[in-house]
Amino acid sequence: MNIFTRLGEFLLMLKGMFTKPENWRMYWKELMHQCVELGIGSMGIVAIISVFIGAVSTVQTSYQFVSSIIPRSVIAQIVRDSVILEFAPTITCVVLAGVVGSKISSELGNMRVSEQIDALEIMGINTKAYLVLPKIVAGIIMVPFLVVLAMVLGIWGGRFVGDISNILPHELYDKGLHDTFVPYNVTFALIKSYTFAFIITAIPAYFGYNVKGGALEIGRASTTAVVTSCIIILLADYVLAQVLL
The residues that touch another protein, with contacts defined as CB under 8 A, are 22-23, 25-26, 110, 114-116, 118-119, 121-126
Nearest CA among 214, 28, 16 for reference residue 127: 16
Q: Is the dihedral of CA 239, 105, 138, 87 positive or negative?
A: negative
In angstroms, what is the minimal distance from the CB of 19 to another protein? 8
Nearer to another protein, 25 or 67 (CB): 25
Nearer to another protein, 113 or 149 (CB): 113
In angstroms, what is the minimal distance from the CB of 115 to another protein? 4
Helices (H), the chain: 3-16, 24-35, 41-64, 74-82, 92-113, 116-122, 127, 133-164, 170-178, 183-209, 215-244
Nearer to another protein, 118 or 174 (CB): 118
In angstroms, what is the minimal distance from the CB of 130 to another protein? 9
Nearest CA among 35, 210, 41 for reference residue 137: 35
Give CA 113 to chain center in angstroms: 27
Nearer to another protein, 51 or 129 (CB): 129
In angstroms, what is the minimal distance from the CB of 123 to another protein? 5
Nearer to another protein, 22 or 174 (CB): 22
Nearest CA among 38, 207, 223 for reference residue 134: 38
In angstroms, what is the minimal distance from the CB of 5 to another protein? 13
CA distance linking residue 71 with residue 244, whole number of Å: 30
